[in-house]
Structure 1
Amino acid sequence: MTTTEPARTREQRKQDVLDRLAKDDDLWVATASPDGEPCLVPLSFVWDRDTLLMCTRRTNRTARNLTPAGEARVSLGHTRDVVLIEGAAEPVEGTELAAESADAFTAKLGWDPRDRKPWVYLRVTPRTVKAWREENELAERDLMRDGDWLV
């Protein structure tokens, strides 16, 4: 692997992660069924109250894999600027979602699934966050562990 830029500090990587969470619209969500069958899909999201808030049809495998609760791995970026988040996920009905959260989702993404019965929100609470660009950042890629920021 070719290193073209100096390694960022962990503090800078955390800030870069927070910037991406605020500005990016889409991410990849990986889940597994109870029998271990993997599922990887892109979903739109909003960073809301230190959690990721997404929405999908309740009949989609991603929603079924996380009902009533489950684990998700989420990735932003490309292979030379990775943000990898793992955490607990839970479905939230549109009628049960706090108005400010639903409003934030609608404002950022331009659609409001709150009253659409086939849809359910998914909230992922990060337990770990890792970020790196090149090999020179792998040694200190852990930015969050057990839900606590390390920087």
Structure 2
Amino acid sequence: MARELPPARDAARRKRDVLERLAGDEDAWVATADAAGEPCLVPLSFVWHGGALVMTTRAANPTAVNAAASGRAVVSLGHTRDVVLIDARVEVVADGALGEAEGEAFVAKLAWDTRGRPGWVFLRFHPRAIRAWREVNELPGRQLMANGVWLVQGA
């Protein structure tokens, strides 16, 4: 027996839902790869600030090392029936170089502060492409951002 799918959301609703997830979710899956193409997938906590996802990890962790080398990552929010995939350009932000407002937003949301801790860095993920869908009926039109520009105006 086939399961009945809820109606597909229009692009404006999907964008609003993505922005709500970015504001409200605390954790994401982050995928990077090393120079040999070996993947690394880890969960990291984040804050959405100034149009970028801000996360922290140890500078020696593969995620930070890979991000520094390639400047690229894929970030995933949600679960398999409510997917947000973000292709991002990544900046590694050394301790002391994170803006005060970003740091305070991170601490306010996550009650965790690595500023001033030796060996830690922040990662700033700038979305280049965003895709979002819930079910197969939402696969058409799942591309909401391309080349860093929202394809859907308003929200």
**Common fold by TM > 0.5:** yes
Q: Which residue of 1 aligns with 2:72?
A: 71
Unaligned runs of 5+ in 1: none
> Residues of 1 paired with 2:4 and 2:41: CA distance?
29
Equivalent position SS for 1:63: helix
Report the CA distance between 1:93 and its aligned residue. 1.4
Paired letter, 1:66: A
Report the CA distance between 1:66 and its aligned residue. 1.1
> Residues of 2 paired with 1:68 and 1:47: CA distance?
23
Q: How many positions carry a matched residue from both structures?
A: 151
- Aligned CA RMSD, in angstroms, stands at 1.1
Q: Which residue of 2 aligns with 1:44?
A: 45
Unaligned runs of 5+ in 2: none
Greater displacement, 64-73 / 7-16: 64-73
> Residues of 1 paired with 2:3 and 2:93: CA distance?
43
Scaled by the length of structure 2, the TM-score of the pair is 0.94
Q: Which residue of 2 aligns with 1:18?
A: 19
Say if 1:68 and 1:90, in contact at 8 Å, map to a contact too.
no
Aligned: 1:148 with 2:149: yes
Distance 1:69 1:106, change over 3 A: farther
Scaled by the length of structure 1, the TM-score of the pair is 0.97
Greater displacement, 120-129 / 3-12: 3-12
Q: Which residue of 2 aligns with 1:129?
A: 130
> Residues of 2 paired with 1:125 and 1:82: CA distance?
18
- State the identity %: 56
